[in-house]
């Protein structure tokens, strides 16, 4: 058990819908990262928050957004869902913000499997 | 329609043998590297990490080697066990960026034969 929790474990929805994925980081971790894992793209970085502020963005679609709350949990919102959004979504957390000499271990949650029908 | 998936390289080893999984990374400015193990239906599990100021680091039954000259990373698993069967990913963090985001390799499937 990494200490990172994600809910729900599975999510099945229809095209055009909106869903929210939730992540609670390990106790003491200030950074939260979201990654998408699909069959044809591997693990792709989406977005990072550090202590409530957006830190970095990857190739995250405009239909996707995220936030980190004062208690440090994070939510990833996916809207206008398409079939191609079906994937595993992972949250990871770490203590540090990252950068030169300031990157530390990221621990991953169990993931949310999203199926868009 | 036809579905296209990643064709992961596969390493098949006999139980008890040593395994070596290789990874080429892309950015010479990367200063942090990490290996994860992912079992089916689970999230990536941290195995070992190494910073660019080191060329070797050992853990329990695992060793990571870093060759910055050729931008190559390897994971050695001693006395491989059936429980080691999984997909292994290497990842790098770019030291020139102001983030800890990880760039992942495509992964290697390790199959351990009893």
Is the model more confident about A84 or about A39? A84
Residue B1 confidence (pLDDT): 37
Residue A39 confidence (pLDDT): 80
Q: Tell me if B43 and A108 make a contact (CB, 8 A cut-off).
A: yes
Where residue B107 falls (left for φ over 0; alpha for ψ -120 to 50; beta otherwise) is: left
Mean pLDDT along residues A46-51: 97
Mean pLDDT along residues A19-26: 98
Give B-chain residues touching A106 at CB under 8 angstroms. Answer: 34, 46, 100, 102
Residue B32: burial class (beta carbons within 10 Å; 0-12, 13-18, 19+): buried
Residue A50 confidence (pLDDT): 96
Q: How far apart are CA B63 and CA B49, in angstroms?
A: 10
B33 touching chain A per CB within 8 A: no
Strand segments (E) across chain B: 10-14, 19-24, 30-38, 45-51, 56-58, 62-67, 72-77, 86-94, 103-104, 108-113
Residue B37 corresponds to which tokens in the numbers above? Answer: 């193990």
Give B-chain residues touching A42 at CB under 8 angstroms. Answer: 6, 104-107
- Enumerate the β-bridge partners of residue A116: A13
Residue A12 corresponds to which tokens in the numbers above? Answer: 């099945």
Give B-chain residues touching A94 at CB under 8 angstroms. Answer: 100
Q: Tell me if A31 and B36 make a contact (CB, 8 A cut-off).
A: no
Mean pLDDT along residues A99-111: 91
Mean pLDDT, rounded, of chain A = 95
Least confident of A47-56, A105-114, B20-29: B20-29
Helix boundaries (H) for chain A: none
Contact A89, A108 (CB under 8 A): no
Is the model more confident about A47 or about A59? A47
Q: Which of B:50-69 have CB within 8 Å of A?
A: none
* Percentage, residues of chain A above pLDDT 90: 87
Q: How far apart are CA A65 and CA A47, in angstroms?
A: 9
Best probe of the B interface among A98, A101, A107, A110, by most B CBs < 10 A, is: A98
CA distance B102 to chain A (A): 7
Angle at A44 between CA B97 and CA B111, to 5 degrees: 120
Interface residues from chain A to B (CB-CB < 8 Å): 2, 4, 31, 33, 35, 39-45, 48, 55-56, 58, 90, 92, 94, 96-111
Closest to B75 (Cα-Cα) out of B31, B36, B42, B114: B36
Which parts of chain B have pLDDT scores under 70?
Answer: 1-7
Q: Tell me if B98 and A98 make a contact (CB, 8 A cut-off).
A: yes
Residue B7 confidence (pLDDT): 60
B31 touching chain A per CB within 8 A: yes
Element of type H or E holding A11:
strand A10-13
Contact B40, B110 (CB under 8 A): no
Mean pLDDT along residues A71-91: 97
Residue B50 corresponds to which tokens in the numbers above? Answer: 């190494």
B6 touching chain A per CB within 8 A: yes
Question: Would you say residue A3 has pLDDT above 90?
Answer: yes
Residue B104 confidence (pLDDT): 94
Is the model more confident about B100 or about A117? A117
């Amino acid at each position: 058990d990494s200490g990172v929790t994600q809910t729900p474990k599975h999510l099945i929805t229809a095209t055009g819908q909106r869903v929210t994925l939730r992540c609670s980081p390990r106790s003491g971790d200030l950074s939260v990262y979201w990654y998408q894992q699909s069959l044809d793209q591997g693990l792709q970085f989406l977005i990072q928050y550090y202590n409530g502020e957006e830190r970095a963005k990857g190739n995250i679609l405009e239909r996707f957004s995220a936030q980190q709350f004062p208690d440090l949990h994070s939510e990833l919102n996916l809207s206008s869902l398409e079939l191609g959004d079906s994937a595993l979504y992972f949250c990871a957390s770490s203590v540090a913000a990252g950068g030169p000499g300031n990157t530390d271990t990221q621990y991953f949650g169990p993931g949310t499997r999203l199926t868009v029908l | 329609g036809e579905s296209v998936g990643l064709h992961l390289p596969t390493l098949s080893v006999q139980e008890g043998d040593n395994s070596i999984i290789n990874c080429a990374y892309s950015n010479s400015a990367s200063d942090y590297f990490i290996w994860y193990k992912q079992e089916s239906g689970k999230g990536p599990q941290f195995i070992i990490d190494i910073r660019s100021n080191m060329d070797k680091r050992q853990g329990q039954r695992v060793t990571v080697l870093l060759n910055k000259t050729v931008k190559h990373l390897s994971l050695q698993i001693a006395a491989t066990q059936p429980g080691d069967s999984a997909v292994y990913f290497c990842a790098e963090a770019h030291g020139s960026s102001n983030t800890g985001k990880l760039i992942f390799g495509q992964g290697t499937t390790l199959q351990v034969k009893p």
